[in-house]
Each structure stands twice: as structure tokens, then as C-alpha cells.
């Protein structure tokens, strides 16, 4: 299993300065299975460079493309209207969420419609299917995928993807609890090789007015990774107001207390092999 990050910011994309390390696109990651199947996790603006990486600008027509959506806030779906593959008659797109297939279809239809966009979602040419993922693992492209609810306004779902005894958990948008680690999420991420976690705020920013906004901090991510026994912690959903220099300082602080942690950046590739 190969994981590559194409969008790592939260809330809104930014136009990073030349030579930036971390990047400015909103969430989208590509998971490529050992059998060559492609799973996309979230469809923020990072979906656009992700698409270019697949067959030089458009995705392969020989296999379905599985798109796992954690939730429907704008920063996680804003790449879809500009996704060229959506408009291809020979494309087979399979969308997943932790809600019902009907609600998934309705939300995508409502998101991309006039007068907000000139092309209706359902009138785009690709073949589409809508499926639900729940707490029990289901086979998607030869890997096992399950979900867990997260503490986020209007709901959000974490994904756990498992293949050949290795696993990665995407917990992109969640807020830690005042009383400690989210026990349900820790159990869901138990023994994961990689835990990807929301690190939108510093502890000071969180305390100064971000409580209840549905996002977390790197120290809460470290606590969760320890509780879950995760092998590696990837801190993501980065604040668009944080510069490279600030993220470097936060990364250094995180690594002092949890050496197997790193802040996500566009182009970061992880390989989970037998």
C-alpha cells in the first residue's frame, strides 16, 4: 500500500510562496493498493494535482476510481467541480461516505448545482455509484475499509484502510475532548501503522477561542497516537495562516515528545509493505 499526499491544508487553500515545503492545497490523498487499485481520500483542491499524477492529467478508465469522502465541508469537496475525470463518459467513479448512499448522492448533487456552478453534478458524463461504509470493514478495491464517527460540526468520519496486515487511519477533522483522549477513536486506530490526525491549531490558538470549532492540536494527536499504539503520526489539516517556519517549529516540538511524528506536506509518500 502506497499513500501520497496532494493536499494538506484545512479550511481554505493558500497560494504558497515559491519553494514552500508543505504546500497550499486542501485535503486529498491517494492510496494505491498492492493490486494497483486507487482510493482517493477527500476531494479538496489537492484532487487536481492528484488527478494529474494519475495518467498525466486524467484517471485510468480500466479500473474504477474509489473516492472516500470524510464529510462535505467545502475544503474537502471543492476540487470535484474541476475534476476532469468527472466529465469523461468512460470514467467509473465510486463515491463513499459514512452516511446512506441516498444522502451521499443528494449532498454531492446539492453541492454542485446552479447558480453556484454551471454544470450540474449528475449531468456530468462519468458513471457514478454511491455507497456507504460503516464500522464493519468492507472490501473496496481489495483492501478493507471501515469508518468511525469524529467530533466535528455536522459530522465527519475517520477511515481505516487495511491491506496485508498493515493499516492507515485518516482522522482529518476532529476535536479532542477536554477530559482526555477520544476512547472510541483510539480503539478504532489501535495498532495502526500510520495515524493521520488533525493539527489545525496550536494549543495557544485553541485555548484563545477555537474550542468547539471541530479541530485539534498536535499535542492531542500525540496523546491519541500513544493511546492507540500507532507506529507513525502524520499531523495534517494544517492551518492556512501557518507559515513554513511556524510549521517547522511545531514539527520539531512534536518530534521531541513523539519522535515518530511528522507534519504532512504535499508530495509526502508512505509505503506500507508486508
Domains of the chain: 2-269 (3.60.15.10)
Q: Once rounded to an integer, what is the mean pLDDT over residues 90-116? A: 96
Average pLDDT score over the chain: 95
Express as a percent the part of the chain with pLDDT over 90.
93
Q: State the residue for C-alpha cell 500513544.
A: 226
Q: Once rounded to an integer, what is the mean pLDDT over residues 192-219? A: 98
Confidence (pLDDT) at 49:
96
- Rounded Cα–Cα distance for residues 136 and 216 (Å): 26
Confidence (pLDDT) at 17:
75
pLDDT digits (tens, 9 = 90+) for 24-50: 999 999 999 999 999 999 999 999 999
pLDDT above 80: residue 242? yes
Q: pTM value? A: 0.96
Express as a percent the part of the chain with pLDDT over 70.
97
Sign of the C-alpha dihedral computed for residues 219, 223, 224 and 230 taken in this order: positive
- Rounded Cα–Cα distance for residues 104 and 113 (Å): 15
Work out the pLDDT band at 61, boundaries 50, 70, 90.
Answer: low
Amino acid at each position: 500500500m502506497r499513500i501520497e499526499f496532494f493536499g494538506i491544508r484545512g479550511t481554505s487553500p493558500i497560494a504558497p510562496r515559491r519553494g514552500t515545503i508543505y504546500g497550499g492545497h486542501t485535503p486529498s490523498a491517494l492510496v494505491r493498493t498492492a493490486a494497483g487499485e486507487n482510493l482517493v481520500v477527500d476531494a479538496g483542491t489537492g484532487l487536481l494535482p492528484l488527478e494529474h499524477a494519475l495518467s498525466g492529467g486524467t484517471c485510468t478508465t480500466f479500473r474504477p476510481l474509489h473516492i472516500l469522502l470524510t464529510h462535505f465541508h467545502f475544503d474537502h469537496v471543492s476540487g470535484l467541480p474541476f475534476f476532469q475525470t468527472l466529465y469523461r463518459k468512460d470514467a467509473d467513479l465510486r463515491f463513499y461516505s459514512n452516511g446512506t448512499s441516498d444522502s451521499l448522492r443528494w449532498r454531492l448533487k446539492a453541492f454542485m448545482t446552479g447558480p453556484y456552478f454551471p454544470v450540474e453534478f449528475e449531468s456530468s458524463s462519468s458513471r457514478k455509484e454511491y455507497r456507504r461504509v460503516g464500522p464493519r470493514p468492507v472490501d473496496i478495491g481489495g483492501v478493507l475499509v471501515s469508518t468511525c464517527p469524529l467530533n466535528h460540526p455536522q459530522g465527519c468520519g475517520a477511515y481505516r484502510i487495511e491491506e496485508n496486515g498493515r493499516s492507515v487511519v485518516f482522522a482529518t477533522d476532529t476535536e479532542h475532548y477536554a477530559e482526555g483522549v477520544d476512547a472510541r477513536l483510539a480503539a478504532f486506530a489501535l495498532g495502526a501503522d500510520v495515524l493521520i490526525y488533525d493539527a489545525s491549531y496550536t494549543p495557544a490558538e485553541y485555548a484563545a477561542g477555537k474550542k468547539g470549532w471541530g479541530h485539534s492540536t498536535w499535542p492531542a494527536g500525540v496523546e491519541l497516537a500513544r493511546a492507540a499504539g500507532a507506529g507513525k503520526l502524520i499531523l495534517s489539516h494544517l492551518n492556512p495562516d501557518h507559515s513554513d517556519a511556524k510549521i517547522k517549529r511545531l514539527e520539531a516540538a512534536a518530534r521531541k515528545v513523539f519522535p515518530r511524528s511528522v507534519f504532512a506536506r504535499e508530495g509526502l509518500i508512505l509505503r506500507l509493505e508486508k
